[in-house]
Amino acid sequence: MKWSLADGLKRFLLTSETDIRKNSYKWNTLAGMLNSFLYQPILPSLAADWNEGRHELFIRRALRQIFLIFAITGAVLIGAYLLGIPFLSLLYHTDLRSFKTELLILLVGSGMLALAGFINILLTILRCQQDLIGGYSLIAVPAFLLSPLFVRRWGIAGASWVYTILVSGLAFIFAILLAIRIRGKAGI
């Protein structure tokens, strides 16, 4: 049997349990894989720029990549707004029109997760990975407190919102840590 990307995606996304609430993590995993393809190719050159003292070039290239993450997230949001629910309804053989807002909120969260992941890598290039523990610890407390409240109060919409708020907060914390470390190490 010949393998194709479509067959692989179908096997990855469709299981015996087609409940979207139970399988929503798969879409986030897929988004994460796609985002890593965006910045994996430039990581060696970013690391070389930083290690060889080309800090301004490092910053410019990192900002360009962050812009790309936002641009792709925007394009995905437009595509999902226009085609996402019909595609998912077809894929899951159920009417998901009532989940359009939640889908868009989750996609914003996936974009923010991609940003947090990229900044995570930048902090690692700066050899400041110990800062990541602090960022994750700071976001763990609100995650522990807010998640049950949002889900109990607003169900799937609440879960979508709390996820997006938390990963946005994580990206913001990592961005602050990155700015502090760049300023301290590069003197910029």
d(C-alpha 53, C-alpha 4), whole Å? 44
Amino acid at 128: C
Query: Is 154 among the domain residues?
Result: yes
Query: In percent, how much of the chain has pLDDT > 70?
Result: 79
Q: Is residue 46 part of a domain?
A: yes
Cα separation, 149 vs 165, whole angstroms: 13
* Residues 139, 153: Cα–Cα separation, whole Å: 21
Asked if residue 182 is part of any domain, the answer here is yes
Cα dihedral 14, 15, 21, 24 sign: negative
Is 163 a member of any domain? yes
User: pLDDT tier at 48 (50, 70, 90 boundaries)?
Assistant: very high
Give me the DSSP letters along 122-161.
Answer: HHHHTT-THHHHHHHHHHHHHHHHHHHHHHHHHHHHHHHH
Range of the domain at 176: 21-186
Mean pLDDT of 144-162: 89
11 inside domain: no
Rounded distance between C-alpha atoms, residue 110 and residue 166, angstroms? 11
Torsion 151-155-158-163 (CA) sign: positive
What's the pLDDT band for 122 if we cut at 50, 70, 90?
A: very high
Domain count, the chain: 1
Higher pLDDT, 126 or 11: 126
Q: Is residue 76 part of a domain?
A: yes
**Mind listing the pLDDT tens digit for each residue in 79-108?**
888 877 787 777 777 777 777 788 888 889
pLDDT for the residue numbered 62: 93
Q: Is residue 3 part of a domain?
A: no
Residue 97: predicted pLDDT: 76
